[in-house]
């Protein structure tokens, strides 16, 4: 039991280290965003730093993912009576894991569409307007606010491309994970609510409605963005990024609220792990 608890703490430490590394990475790279300090000779160094930025970012994502896996696994093995264990048990069975993976991937694709990561401009020919080679890609090292650089620009076709912004990439991973978690728990809660009349069906469905923080932004873009100029579309994207960031605490708290509905009076989970 003691070794399992220590291993669980190591899982949490990996998650914390991963997020702290990303925050420090954003702050450090933000120091290279002053155009006045950029000389032709300095650009080569910043370009190399931009490449290392994404290497460290991917390693940090790996540490967070492995830490979360260990934390969930060990919570299931301990089989305690706290809400974190209930959440881990609910999402550990094969059915819930399948729902989680499908939602994580599906929402990640949806997020990339509405956040501007996947760009489709039928009225613009990238080869003509930007002189781009099709297909091609590069890392733009400068210059924008912290979290918005370096960008990865990829031209897939004359009208379709990718614009990967670091802050949006981090939000996409975090929100997609939380949406997948909320959906998996909500589906399990809904199934249990059919058997347990004392459980609130409304509460079990709440996670499914809260699990789409980008929907409001995309709904606004349909009625506002398409009828306005590029400037308003950019402003809307930035507002949407802020809206998604604000929604993260709600997505984080909701699983604990739903987990209470799946907890027996003795504190154990109503769903058996496995």
What tens digit of pLDDT does each residue of 38-94 get? 777 777 888 888 999 999 999 999 999 999 999 888 888 887 778 888 888 888 888
Task: Please say if the pLDDT value at position 268 is more than 70.
Answer: no
Task: For residue 229, report the phi and psi dihedrals to the nearest 5 degrees.
Answer: -85, 180
For residue 3, being part of any structural domain is answered with no
Give the model's pLDDT for residue 109.
86
Is pLDDT at 230 greater than 60 in this prediction?
no
Task: Please give the residue range of the domain that contains residue 205.
Answer: 99-116+165-266
Instruction: Report yes or no: 270 and 188 within 8 Å, Cβ to Cβ.
Output: no
**Integer Cα distance of 114 and 199 in angstroms:** 35
Q: Residue 220 pLDDT > 50, yes or no? A: no
Is 178 or 208 the better-scoring residue by pLDDT? 178
Question: 75-82 long-range CB contacts below 8 Å, 24 or more apart?
Answer: 75/8, 76/273, 77/4, 78/1, 78/4, 78/5, 78/8, 79/268, 79/273, 81/266, 81/267, 81/268, 82/267
Question: How many domains is the chain partitioned into structurally?
Answer: 1
Residue 258: inside a domain? yes
Residue 151 contacts residue 163 (beta carbons within 8 Å)? yes
Q: b/e string for 97-114 if b means 16 or more Cβ within 10 A?
A: eebbeebbeebbebbbeb
Residue 132, in any domain of the structure: no
Q: What is the pLDDT of residues 145-155, one digit of tens each?
A: 778 889 999 99
pLDDT value of residue 61: 95
Report the alpha-carbon distance of residue 30 to residue 21 in Å, rounded: 14
* Mean pLDDT for the chain overall: 76
C-alpha distances (whole Å) from 122 to each of 36, 91, 252 are 36, 41, 38
Using alpha carbons only, how large is the chain's radius of gyration in Å? 22
Report whether 46 contacts 141 (CB < 8 A): yes
> Is residue 94 included in any domain, yes or no?
no
Residue 87 lies in a domain: no
- Distance (Å) of CA 127 to CA 153, 229, 246, 260: 14, 22, 37, 55
pLDDT of residue 240: 59
How far, in Å, CA of 93 to CA of 96, rounded? Answer: 6
**Helix-strand-coil split of the chain, %, nearest 5:** 70, 5, 25
pLDDT single digits (tens) 94-105: 888 899 999 899
* The pLDDT of residue 65: 93
Judge whether 39 lies within some domain. no
Give the mean model confidence (pLDDT) for residues 197-217: 44
With respect to residue 259, please indicate whether it lies within any of the assigned structural domains. yes
Flag whether 28 is in a domain.
no
The three-state secondary structure class of 153 is strand
Q: Are 117 and 111 in contact (CB under 8 A)?
A: yes
Query: What's the CA gap between 188 and 205, in Å, rounded?
Result: 10
What pLDDT was estimated at residue 9? 75
Residue 202 binned pLDDT confidence (cut-offs 50, 70, 90): very low
User: Which band of pLDDT confidence, cut at 50, 70 and 90, is reported for residue 32?
Assistant: confident
pLDDT of 231 strictly over 70? no
pLDDT tens digit sequence for 112-143 = 877 778 888 888 888 888 888 888 888 888 87
Least confident of 147-156, 201-210, 231-240, 245-254: 201-210
pLDDT at position 232 over 70: no
Residues 6+ apart with CB under 8 A from 2: none
């Amino acid at each position: 039991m003691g070794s399992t608890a220590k291993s669980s703490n190591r899982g949490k430490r990996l998650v914390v280290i991963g997020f702290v590394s990303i925050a420090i990475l954003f702050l450090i790279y933000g120091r290279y965003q002053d155009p006045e300090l950029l000389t032709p000779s300095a650009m080569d160094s910043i370009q190399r730093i931009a490449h290392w930025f994404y290497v460290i970012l991917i390693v940090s994502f790996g540490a967070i993912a492995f830490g979360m896996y260990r934390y969930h696994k060990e919570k299931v093995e301990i089989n305690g009576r706290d809400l974190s264990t209930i959440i881990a048990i609910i999402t550990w069975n094969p059915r819930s894991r399948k729902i989680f993976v499908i939602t994580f991937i599906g929402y990640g694709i949806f997020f990339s569409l509405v956040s501007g990561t996947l760009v489709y401009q039928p009225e613009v020919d990238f080869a003509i307007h930007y002189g781009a080679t099709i297909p091609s890609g590069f890392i733009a090292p400068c210059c924008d606010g912290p979290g918005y650089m370096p960008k990865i620009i990829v031209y897939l076709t004359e009208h379709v491309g990718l614009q990967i912004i670091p802050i949006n990439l981090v939000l996409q991973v975090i929100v997609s994970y939380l949406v997948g978690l909320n959906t998996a728990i909500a589906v399990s809660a809904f199934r249990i609510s059919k058997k347990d009349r004392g459980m609130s069906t409304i509460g079990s469905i709440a996670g499914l409605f809260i699990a789409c923080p980008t929907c409001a932004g995309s709904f606004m873009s349909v009625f506002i963005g398409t009828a306005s100029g590029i400037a308003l579309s950019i402003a809307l994207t930035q507002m949407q990024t802020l809206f998604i960031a604000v929604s993260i605490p709600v997505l984080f708290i909701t699983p604990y609220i739903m987990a209470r509905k799946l907890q027996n009076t003795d504190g154990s989970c109503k769903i058996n792990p496995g």
